[in-house]
Amino acid sequence: MNDFPRWKHILVALVAVLGVLFAVPSLYQKQPAVQVLANKSGIVDEALKERALQALQQRKIEFQDVEIKDDRLLALFGNTDAQLAAASALRTDLGDNYTVALNLASTVPQWMRMIGANSMPLGLDLQGGVHFLMQVDQK
């Protein structure tokens, strides 16, 4: 009745399980974040983290987490309104020694990232588009 050997059935099942495992991270949503990078004279350390926390708390901007990761400060927010308000506040308070950028942070669990299961990167057209603002020095 069934002419296929057992090892072929096991192989097909294993490939299907691995396919599902590596497809699941694409179901996780990206989280609004603000990324702060140091320019030439600035450094990213705990003092910067405290300054950022103080700036957010003074303006009563709700955030989920502020962490230092890979020589950058990353502040996570629950919605884009808080993200935009925080970016403006941090640009004002931190000055020219730091670059403040809007970002989308991955919410894929750490154990999935450790095995290489990341969400599939989407192009601008699939993310709903992004508005760019370029600052040009006309002098």
Sheet holding 31-38, edge to edge: 65-68, 73-76, 31-38, 98-105
The pTM (predicted TM-score) of the whole model is: 0.71
pLDDT per residue as tens digits for the range 104-135: 888 888 899 899 888 877 766 666 655 566 66
Tell me the domains of the chain and their CATH numbers.
29-107 (3.30.70.260)
CB 99 within 8 A of CB 37: yes
pLDDT per residue as tens digits for the range 36-88: 998 877 788 898 899 999 999 999 999 999 999 888 999 999 999 999 999 99
